[in-house]
A and B are shown apart, each in its own frame.
Chain A
């Protein structure tokens, strides 16, 4: 449970809010690079942290993320002409470069330098992996570029998708660090999904339906360890890292690619779920890519041409009560991503946490909220850089391992929980 003022603190991310300021400390995903596929391609509307922006790629391949609205009379630059190293408003021809600097005002004499006085708010936009990242904080505090492993491996080893989730970012992210729902909501998918099945470790999931959870703080956030009984008195651990503010990585199964998410606030009632899948040491196979594109694993099948899932609230998530009754799905909704999204959206645009009744297995969520609130307050009150900004915190992996019963997992597999270039994830 949170008090109302605490719930407001963790859910509101617009300009001037503490959590908004926290998000602005980081490089965050702004678009998929495929959304700006070539120089002078059409601009794209982008809304992030409750700010309306437009993204474009100019004639020289430079990326820009600028205020959406022309400073002349407020027309949307989504209608803009992307040409000759700038975005030109079609209304009166005002033109802007990727920094938001106005470079032409056709109705004014060039000698007046009127355009020098006009500059739109802009944020840096850079490509790392298949994602375009932006940093929306003070320029003097801009951190080093992100070093998440999925963004650093060769392009044939990674796949990233994106979907709209129509609820606040936090209730979406909390699903990613809530290990106890997997045995219920996603019960049907473990043995049937092509991106999960066949792993040796699955036998431990099926043999012990009552995992015990441990939550351990880390420098960048926390680890959640789910332990199950293995042979010879050992434990099978599945270890999930959460790095602030909203990164998670699911523990691997066998040699399948490893996946995880970022949840990025669009505004206080909507967020993007960026979902990555990558393998540290080999290219993804054609079958794996096809499965991801088809919405298998933790990806979603989207309406063509959009990032909105095909199963969404407008069609009751394609609810199938017969499948629910027959046990093919637990909730009647198909697909891991939409199984999560449907329940998280059903909580309302911003869930009222004053009405919660948490239990001890929710300690991952409790700890994450605790750390987020503490980090936001320390940033606002004392200027303390939050965890997760340091690229060392981003070079993290998940792991699935078998360990003796007395081992603290965070220390016993310390090396496996960090990126080791050229080595595969620790996996069973």
Chain B
């Protein structure tokens, strides 16, 4: 007689896997941190998504400083030009994806990262255009991103962002 594992790993048994949704849509907030990544994010936003939302820019009431409570005073602009408070958007996010071009200082990463830590939201940072940045410039970007990104990806082509968002059911 076959063991239970032997029976249950057959193709025939695989057909009995429950055919019902096993998750709810995730609220993934994609934020561009510089002009270059804004172009990419705008293109992505035109595709159909489940519950992803896209933000073209971040602005502050005054220049951000690390250590201060700047996440409370930071605003996001979506692609329709509407403004919302960063902390409010983070509060309703399941994942925050920061998109940044290699070489960018990504100053907003610290503010977004602090808000995510406060609200216990995972962050992923995607760095584009690696080939066009020097090692020093990339190091600068990494220095600003690493403390605030739970996951960091350096992608050679911007198509990867769409693949990632689809894979995450955004």
Contacts and interface: CB of A to CB of B under 8 A. Distances in A.
Interface of A: 1-2, 166-167, 212-217, 269, 313-317, 342, 345-346, 348-350, 352, 355-363, 366-367, 369-370, 374, 405-408, 410-411
Given A269-B11, A349-B10, A357 B169 contact: yes
Given A316-B3, A358-B169, 19 more contacts: A212-B152, A214-B153, A215-B152, A217-B156, A313-B3, A313-B5, A346-B5, A346-B8, A348-B9, A357-B23, A362-B167, A363-B124, A367-B155, A374-B159, A405-B146, A406-B143, A407-B142, A408-B139, A410-B154
A315 B3 contact: yes
A316 B5 CA distance: 5
Nearest to B169: A1
Contacts of A370: 159-160, 163-164
Contact of B154 (A215, A359, A362): A215
A216 B151 CA distance: 11
A379 B146 CA distance: 36
Max chain B C-beta neighbours (<10 A), residue from A348, A349, A358: A348
Contacts, number: 119
B139 A366 contact: no
Contact of B95 (A2, A213, A356, A360): A360
Contacts of B160: 367, 370
A343 to B, nearest CB: 11
Contacts of A2: 167
Contacts of B14: 348-350, 352
B135 A408 contact: yes
Interface size class of B (residues with CB under 8 A): 35 or more
Contacts of A349: 9-11, 14
18 contacts: A1-B168, A214-B152, A214-B154, A216-B154, A345-B5, A346-B5, A348-B13, A356-B167, A360-B122, A360-B151, A361-B151, A363-B151, A363-B164, A366-B167, A405-B146, A407-B139, A408-B154, A410-B154
Nearest to B97: A360
B92 interface: no
Given A366-B164, A406-B142, A411 B153 contact: no
Contacts of B5: 313-314, 316-317, 342, 345-346
A217 B154 contact: yes
Interface of B: 2-6, 8-11, 13-14, 17, 22-23, 95, 122, 124, 130, 135, 138-140, 142-143, 146, 149-156, 159-160, 163-164, 166-169
A214 B125 CA distance: 9
A97 to B, nearest CB: 39
Max chain A C-beta neighbours (<10 A), residue from B8, B139, B153: B153
B132 to A, nearest CB: 14
A214 B138 CA distance: 14
B151 A314 contact: no
Given A407-B139, A408-B142, A355 B22 contact: yes
Contacts of B9: 166-167, 313, 345-346, 348-349
Nearest to B11: A349
B167 A217 contact: no
A213 B2 contact: no
Nearest to B13: A348
B22 A357 contact: yes
A367 B142 CA distance: 19
B14 to A, nearest CB: 4
Contacts of B169: 1, 357-358
A369 B167 contact: yes
Contacts of B164: 363, 366-367, 370
Contacts of A359: 122, 168
Nearest to B151: A360
Contacts of A355: 17, 22
Nearest to A6: B166
Contacts of B138: 408, 411
A166 B8 CA distance: 12
A358 B142 contact: no
Nearest to A218: B156
Contacts of A411: 135, 138
A212 B147 CA distance: 10
Contacts of B8: 346
B11 A348 contact: yes
Given A355-B22, A363-B124, A405 B155 contact: no
A408 B137 CA distance: 10
B131 to A, nearest CB: 10
A321 to B, nearest CB: 14
Max chain A C-beta neighbours (<10 A), residue from B8, B9, B142, B149: B9
A419 to B, nearest CB: 22
A1 B154 contact: no
B3 A314 contact: yes
B30 to A, nearest CB: 12
B150 A212 contact: yes
A391 B154 CA distance: 24
Contacts of A405: 143, 146
A269 B14 CA distance: 12
